Structure 1
Amino acid sequence: MMADTGSDEVAVIGNIDLTPGEIENNMKNTMGEKGTVLFRKMEINVAEAEKRTVKNAVNMQEIYTVYLIETRPADAASEGTNSTPDSLWRRYSEFEILRNFLLVTYPYVVVPPLPEKRAEFVWHKLSADNMDPDFVERRRVGLENFLLRVASHPILSTDKIFFAFLTEENGWKEMVFETGFQAKADSRLKALNATFRVKNPDKRFAEMKHYGDELQSVISQLLRVRARVADRLYGVYKVHGNYGRVFSEWSAIEKEMGDGLQSAGHHMDAYAASVDDILEEEEHYADQLKEYLFYTEALRAVCRKHELIQYELEMAAQDLTTKKQQQEELATGTVRTFSLKGMTSKLFGQETPEQREAKMKVLEGQIQEGEDSLKEQNTECDVFVKGAWSDIERFKDQKNHDLKEALISYAIMQISMCKKGIQVWTNAKECFNKM
């Protein structure tokens, strides 16, 4: 079986079953501690990956990968002490559970994505097998980056479950599931319904959701182009190996020119062999782009959650308006809108004063409950918007910085590759001059 099969998958787009007061307190407690995020207190590394084999429920062998998380106090390094780090092993599926928990608990946060579970947008000479050592190594780097992203986030870094994930070998899953986060997860159907039925969407969130769609499209295209370029580059490098073979064969039949041809052939062979390391290095730059490809879904999840809150707010307001209209109709004895109930009253007689008074009392109670609920939902929406927009602004700054650095590094790598090609042919020219 493939790695991490049978994991606890949770389809989540975000949820917020906390009360507005709990949300606001959570935000205040965490936003006020930006200077003491976990990243400043603890060193976090995903030091290595290891394949393991176990017997599953049907007595078949299951091969999976685990990752070693090492942590130590940050002040230990600053003081020059070499304390042994605390360590524990985690499967990729456990990272998924952690992220799904964060999505549900902090729906107003653009939660950092996990690295891909299976390779996407790869050039055809590179293995897409998720058990391939090179892919596992890149995923190890990606998982470490995920932990560092969470640990440096002003809100997520203070979460107790996240700290337990890093430090508790056993019992961590039980702690997570005891929170009941799975039951709080909004269904995709519910969110889709809100998307199409909300009457007054917030323009800022609508534009941000559209931006997320466009960013995903652009990065996907960029990764596809990069994969095609890598394929062609691989071919160009490997063809230089043919130069090496031809020069070597030619040198065997030449006396005066033989040494020069043989040396030029060696340069071509070395050039052809170097492409594997170069393109493996390029995959790390591609992984940086992929991170933001996956970030776009987290960004859209925040926008969808706002749509859902807005839709529920509109439904509550509409229900309250209907109740007040019913109250007015009972008080005046007139029916403004056509209804089956109104027709029945005309055919079979009006309600008695006692019946009308009883219904009025019921409606008064429902209206009061509706007003209280609407006020609470308005507060919830305001708190969500404040927290979400603050985190979106933080994410935009991070994105601009990271993508700029990634593109510059990629350009520098391409320049270096071109210089290497020029150097190879310069060396070949010198060999030819000596013939």
Structure 2
Amino acid sequence: MADAQREDAAETDTPNANDAQEKTSNSTMVEDSSTTLLKRMEITVAEAEKRTGKKAVNMQETYTVYLIETRPSSAVNEGQSVAPDALWRRYSEFELLRNYLLVTYPFIVVPPLPEKRAEFVWHKLSADNMDPDFVERRRVGLETFLLRVASHPVMSNDKIFYHFLMQERGWKEVVYDTGFQAKADSRLRALNATFRVKNPDKRFMEMKHYSDELQAITSQLLRARARVADRLYGVYKVHGNYGRVFSEWSAIEKEMGDGLQSAGHHMDAYAASIDDILEEEEHYADQIKEYLFFAEALRAVCRKHELSQYELETASLDLTSKKLQREELATGIVRTFSFKGMTTKLFGQETADQREARLKLLEEQIDEGEETVREKTAECEEHVHSGWEDMQRFKEQKDRDLREAFINYAYMQMSMCKKGIQMWSNAKECFSKM
């Protein structure tokens, strides 16, 4: 998977992507924005470690930290033995980084983090987030997350992301100083509000529908896999009964005893092999889970487009209303009902000075409204262009990743079946020698 992501880095570094980089605030970009970070740096999440500490309320807690190691790619390519820069990060820090990226780059399908707690697991596996096997799979998932960000033509050159990899202390303060939380909170309130976009981009509407279907299908696939794994586990373990019976039978047979006992040993080994097989299979399930969570990231880009379009339409309506008020005030012809018009009829006309002051205020509001509409139009157009471009990049990545995962899964199943055939072939030879 890591090799495939490094190839992605080469394929996604396009001129259009670089244009998007230039439009991002210079304060958030590293100096060399001509290429992705993954081309300049080797990144690994080398290991996980369980630690115990105290919370703010002086209570004990057990948590896991992950060791991030980085090396210059030039040194690695030249075969130099360079000690890596290393620092430890908690899962919550990965969450903070991703939340920052979501707010800063609303037009990008931000890669998901691996699950915090195990989902869609077959019941023989532990769902404990401190289980060593689960922690190991999450370590792999966190490395995949970093590699995906580091291979992205825009996010890879973000200064905050670079600090996350290189600066252990003070990193959180740097993130909070960007003020992204305030922007995230206001956007969240807007997204939770009930609104209807009158003229949404049909491509984004279709992509939003696709993300819903992708999430539903991957959920069904993971549930089916868990059921198959459970049944397969039972079939393998039942072969252990063959082994026990053959071993007990061998004790009462003289001529047949050695053959029965040998066949029993093959059955026992076959029954025990299912634990390693299903643990390996769980890694393939994690690749499917990543795209289950990617579906939500894809939907988030579509929702942010709707918000951008909604803000543009609201600003346009407000500007139209202000221009209508100016026309009515200038001509004296009221075309729409208003409280101001009603009070004028009841209490008399405004003085010339009052009317002039209102006209001046409306002119100022119209100028501000026109500027707002221009800004919102540019923002919406940029979101549509950059968002659609990134969603196409995501689709190409998805097709490659899932094709590779399914092929490797098929190879694993073929290998498993061959081992079953080999076990029965060995048992047949044992029976033949009786």
Question: 1:25 pairs with 15, 19, 23, which one?
Answer: 23
Partner of 2:301: 302
Does residue 237 in structure 1 map to residue 236 in structure 2?
A: yes
Q: CA deviation at 1:24?
A: 5.8
Q: Is the 8 A contact 1:33 1:154 kept in 2?
A: no
Q: CA deviation at 1:297?
A: 1.0
Ranges in structure 2 where 5+ consecutive residues have no aligned partner: 1-18
Counterparts in 2 of 1:107 and 1:349: CA distance versus 1, 3 Å:
same
TM-score (norm. length: structure 1): 0.92
Inter-partner Cα distance in structure 2 for 1:66 and 1:99? 17
Inter-partner Cα distance in structure 2 for 1:306 and 1:405? 31
Does residue 44 in structure 1 map to residue 76 in structure 2?
A: no
Q: How does 1:203-242 map to 2 (within 5 A)?
A: 203-242=202-241
Q: CA deviation at 1:421?
A: 1.2
Partner of 1:252: 251
Q: How does 1:281-430 map to 2 (within 5 A)?
A: 281-430=280-429
Q: How does 1:104-253 map to 2 (within 5 A)?
A: 104-185=103-184, 186-193=186-193, 196-253=195-252
Inter-partner Cα distance in structure 2 for 1:62 and 1:405? 39
Q: CA deviation at 1:342?
A: 2.0
Inter-partner Cα distance in structure 2 for 1:69 and 1:354? 69
Q: CA deviation at 1:425?
A: 1.2
The 3-state SS of whatever aligns with 2:45 is: strand
Question: Larger deviation: 54-63 or 104-113?
Answer: 54-63
Q: Which amino acid aligns with 1:25?
A: K
Q: CA deviation at 1:341?
A: 2.4
Inter-partner Cα distance in structure 2 for 1:368 and 1:193? 28
Q: Is the 8 A contact 2:21 2:154 kept in 1?
A: no
Does residue 70 in structure 1 map to residue 73 in structure 2?
A: no
Q: CA deviation at 1:434?
A: 1.2
Q: Which amino acid aligns with 1:230?
A: A
Q: Which amino acid aligns with 1:336?
A: R
The 3-state SS of whatever aligns with 2:23 is: helix
Q: CA deviation at 1:335?
A: 1.3
Q: How does 1:66-105 map to 2 (within 5 A)?
A: 66-105=65-104
Deviations 1:134-183 (A, max 9, x none): 00000001111111111111111101111111111211111111111111
Q: CA deviation at 1:187?
A: 4.2
Partner of 1:263: 262
TM-score (norm. length: structure 2): 0.92
Q: Is the 8 A contact 2:85 2:166 kept in 1?
A: yes
Inter-partner Cα distance in structure 2 for 1:276 and 1:314? 57
Q: Identity rate of aligned residues, in percent?
A: 74
Q: Which amino acid aligns with 2:376?
A: Q
Q: Which amino acid aligns with 1:248?
A: S
Q: Which amino acid aligns with 2:237?
A: K
Q: Which amino acid aligns with 1:41?
A: R
Inter-partner Cα distance in structure 2 for 1:24 and 1:339? 47
The 3-state SS of whatever aligns with 2:380 is: helix
Q: Is the 8 A contact 2:45 2:140 kept in 1?
A: yes
Partner of 2:55: 56
Inter-partner Cα distance in structure 2 for 1:158 and 1:187? 24
Size of the aligned set, in residue pairs, is 414
Q: CA deviation at 1:120?
A: 0.4
Q: RMSD of aligned C-alpha atoms?
A: 2.0
Q: CA deviation at 1:316?
A: 0.3
Q: CA deviation at 1:23?
A: 7.9
Question: Larger deviation: 246-255 or 311-320?
Answer: 246-255
Counterparts in 2 of 1:307 and 1:168: CA distance versus 1, 3 Å:
same
Inter-partner Cα distance in structure 1 for 2:33 and 2:433? 65
Q: Is the 8 A contact 1:52 1:64 kept in 2?
A: yes
Q: Which amino acid aligns with 1:422?
A: I
Ranges in structure 1 where 5+ consecutive residues have no aligned partner: 1-20
4+ aligned runs moved over 3 Å, structure 1? 21-24, 27-30, 32-35, 186-189
Inter-partner Cα distance in structure 2 for 1:34 and 1:180? 23
